[in-house]
Every structure is written in C-alpha cells, then in structure tokens.
Amino acid sequence: NNLDHHKGIYGILAILKCIADKYSFASVEKFSRVKVFFLHVAEAKLHLWSLHYQPDGFFNLWRELCLQIQPHFEDRMVILSQLIKFCWNTKCLLEQAVNNIVEVKNEYQEISPIYKYNPEMITHLRSIINPVILKLTKDLSFI
C-alpha cells in the first residue's frame, strides 16, 4: 500500500515527544535539528524515512534514502554496491542524529540547574512539541 509508511509516523512522533519531554529545558532551535528514522519496505524497495520538528510548528517527513531490492542471485554484484552505499549513508545519518540528540542533552544539562526551581521562566519543549495524531477511520454505518 502506498500509505503504509504513514504507520511508522505514529512511532517516531512518539519518540520525538519523549525526547522533548526528557530534555524539556532545551531550546527549540537545538531540538529542531533532531531527526528520528524508520525503515519501510514496500514491494521491492527499502525506504529510510526521517521526521523532525520545524520551528514553525510543523513536522517534516522526508524520504532520505531508497534501495531497490534485487532478489535474484545474478544481480548480486549490482545490489551489493547499492546496499553498501545505502548502509553507509544510513550510518552517517544516524551518527548525525545521535550527535544532535547529544547537543540537546548537553544544553538541557547546562540550563536545567537554572530553571529547575523556576520553571515558569522558560517555555518547556514538552509544551511546544505536542503532536496531534489523528487516526482516520471509516464508519460503516454511513456507507
């Protein structure tokens, strides 16, 4: 199904929300650099999707990478080089994502002692990063 990758969004929105709640004193600027990823297989393709928060209040879903799966043995040399490239690029993206989360954590640890006892002095990430998740359902009584 063309919309199956949207199911992965529920999980990664929850992950972003957990990060925002855990490091609630960090800035939106630092948090907006954080990306979370999921892999999705559709037919004969492997997709790496990312989601990150934008300071204007929207979440940006992006297909970072795509790999055409070639299951035939005779295609092994072609798929091998493509798979290595896909894995290497995935590794690089994950390293950057981890570095960005570490930056959020470090900023939180620096700012936390200041605002811990005066939380009203700062707008918490947990109040800003609050994704609304809608699940569309079909009511059979209206058909």
pLDDT at 140 over 60: no
The domain total for the chain is 1
Query: Is 137 within the bounds of a domain?
Result: no
SS3 109: helix
CA distances from 26 to 45, 53, 73, 115 (A): 37, 14, 50, 11
Residue pLDDT, tens place only, 74-111: 888 888 999 999 999 999 999 999 999 999 999 999 98
Mean of pLDDT values over 9-25: 90
Q: What are phi and psi of 79, to 5 degrees?
A: -70, -30
Range of the domain at 20: 5-129
CA distances from 121 to 52, 53, 75, 108, 129 (A): 26, 23, 60, 15, 18
Query: Is 63 within the bounds of a domain?
Result: yes
